[in-house]
Structure 1
Amino acid sequence: MHVADLCLDELQHSLPTDRFQIGRQAIIDRNMETYGFELLFRPIDRLSRDISGEAATSQVIASSMTDADLPTLRNLNKPLFINMTKEHLMNLHLIGLPPEMVIYEILEDIIVDDRLVDRIKMQRGMGYRFALDDFSMNKHNRRLIPLVSYVKLDVLALSPLELEQHVRTIKQYGPSYVKLVAEKVETYEQFLKCQEMGFDYFQGFLFSKPDLITGFALSPVQNSVYRVQHCLNNPECSYQEIAALLSEDPALVYKLLRFIGNTHKVMPADQLTSLLEGIGKNKLRVMMSLFAHGQLRTGPAEIARQALLKAHQSRQVAIDHKLAKPEQYFFAGLISHLDDFTQRPIRSLLSQLPISRQIKEAVTNGTGIIGEVLDAVSSSTHFDPIGMSLPVNDYTETVTLSQVQCETAVDLIIEGLGERLDKR
């Protein structure tokens, strides 16, 4: 093993992350230019090879919106084609991916009924775009043709005669804006033939094999996700309670922030509670369901404990110093370790998140009273975390700090902060 490999291995064990990987295959237009990409589920290990379609789709959505660098994944602004199960199709409006970003592929084995047709009609009216994947005509799925923007035909599964018949029928039943996509094009002769038949886009090994997009994955703690789900299913659970449960797992907070930042237009927030209120419980419930199908940890990594410790200390300093809105200080402390989780620059990470400018400036530049508190807390983080448990979920290993050390740390932080304020 090389020294670099050993260092990477040690780094991965110190981070609350695993690896993610997504397949990505280009879709080409008639001029041989890239039009978009289909995202494909790729198992990270043997255990994930036999997961359900629901779990596979959830992992692709969650990884592409939270773990991958989305502009790179899209090649700046190319649309993403994603295979969808029936359950996901029924809840697209709650998943909330931007309509201009994604084309939802209706798989060939989905049973078409009135309920699905009505839901697709509703969502199409909201701007969502659909594609029929591996389309093979029958009396049930024919009524979907007027509702979709793309029809994908497998040139290897259909004979030349069947391919021509499908093209004629689609042009007969479909509106003029429906685009034809030829899948599994492997030879130049197939490409030319499909062009002659009127196909608009092309996908297959002739143009490119699927790329493997991989990197660090934010992996929340299993119990954290389940506890938030349980709370969301309780009508009496408040947003303050949801925020408190989320805050027990920094990796889960980061994953949620990245998903919201990439998929929703919301007002930048300086507290987690106000951000959750802007999203709503129904959408939060779907987001947690997506995360629950992904990679989950059984316990936190050391960086998660450090982030949580800094958040609690920052809030305590704000309370003891009678500063307004202590939860802002907790929120800032919690997200200040985001670069450690992802191994990416903190400034670029925060630019994509729905967080107020005040919090971003405090974390990146140490400006304002929040920034001064974060700096003061950071300068006192050498105290060994042993002794008194902090409220950080039912982890097998908890974030701890002796009471004497905790009181001493906070006193020193407040003393130093007070001197700074007196000099103003």
Structure 2
Amino acid sequence: MGQFNMKKEKIINRDGSLYGYEILSKNPQLITPENDFYNALTLVGALNGEVGKIHVNILPETLYFYAENLEEMSRSRPGLVFELVETDMDVRHLKEILQQKPRIKVSIDDFGMRYSNFDRVFELPNVESVKIDRLLWNDPKRERLTRTLVQEFQKEGLIVIAEKVETEEEYKRLVDIGFDAFQGYLWREDR
């Protein structure tokens, strides 16, 4: 069995209320499908009384091996979203799995980075949200692009989340850009 090596981070709505939590590994190098599944099972159970969404960071391979189990978790915990981490993946295979398991909702992590691109957002079924990485939204030269991406994703019915927000000024600017939700150091309980 995997080791309990996860943490939770708040995700905040535009108005400052709690959207939910992301559950992610403290040591990304230790992520394996087995650890992902074990940790997801343990932490989702521990957070069952929490309000809002629960985003669980997982490898795409975790869906390959544990689709039945993850679908059952999704059935018993409304608001559960599996966040696909930024790695190379077989989009066609993942698409087949997600078409067969419509209860499994996914989020695209680190959009704008190496592997997290439009293929994932628009080809995979059951995508509920997109997280735009700080490297994309924090570049002043890309603000217009970021604003357009946020608007286009929202037109598709997706929730758009800004990752790695560190200051109140950034939060205000990102609200102005139009993001739906936010996550980062600004809301960490241990800062």
Same-fold call, TM cutoff 0.5: yes
Among 101, 110, 113, the alignment partner of 2:88 is: 110
Three-state SS of the structure 1 residue aligned to 2:187 is coil
Partner of 1:127: 103
Letter aligned with residue 11 of structure 2: I
Partner of 1:182: 162
1:83 and 1:111 map into 2 onto residues whose CA distance is 15
Bigger mean CA offset, 86-95 vs 103-112: 86-95
Change (3 A) 1:50 1:127: closer
Q: Which has the higher strand share?
A: 2
Deviations 1:245-302 (A, max 9, x none): xxxxxxxxxxxxxxxxxxxxxxxxxxxxxxxxxxxxxxxxxxxxxxxxxxxxxxxxxx
1:92 is displaced (CA, Å) by: 2.6
Partner of 2:59: 85
Among 128, 139, 149, the alignment partner of 2:128 is: 149
Task: Work out whether residues 145 and 174 of structure 1, in 8 Å CA contact, stay in contact via their aligned partners in 2.
Answer: no
Mapping of residues 292-371 of structure 1, within 5 Å: none
Three-state SS of the structure 1 residue aligned to 2:185 is coil
1:172 is displaced (CA, Å) by: 3.3
Three-state SS of the structure 1 residue aligned to 2:100 is helix
Mapping of residues 231-270 of structure 1, within 5 Å: none
User: In the comparison of the two structures, how many residue pairs are matched?
Assistant: 181
1:209 is displaced (CA, Å) by: 4.0
Deviations 1:71-94 (A, max 9, x none): 2xxx2x322101111222234333
Bigger mean CA offset, 166-175 vs 88-97: 166-175
Three-state SS of the structure 1 residue aligned to 2:74 is coil
Higher CA-based Rg: 1
Mapping of residues 271-282 of structure 1, within 5 Å: none
Letter aligned with residue 30 of structure 1: R
Deviations 1:195-241 (A, max 9, x none): 11110001111122469xxxxxxxxxxxxxxxxxxxxxxxxxxxxxx
Mapping of residues 373-392 of structure 1, within 5 Å: none
Q: Which has the higher helix share?
A: 1
Identity score, percent:
22
1:53 is displaced (CA, Å) by: 3.0
- Unaligned runs of 5+ residues in structure 2 are none
Deviations 1:115-163 (A, max 9, x none): 222323333xx23221110111679831332342111012245523335
1:69 is displaced (CA, Å) by: 5.9
1:174 is displaced (CA, Å) by: 6.3
1:33 and 1:173 map into 2 onto residues whose CA distance is 22
Change (3 A) 1:140 1:208: closer
Instruction: Considering Cα pairs closer than 8 Å and 6+ residues apart, tell me whether 1 or 2 has the greater RCO.
Output: 2
Change (3 A) 1:207 1:200: same
1:160 and 1:34 map into 2 onto residues whose CA distance is 28
- Unaligned runs of 5+ residues in structure 1 are 1-18, 44-48, 212-424
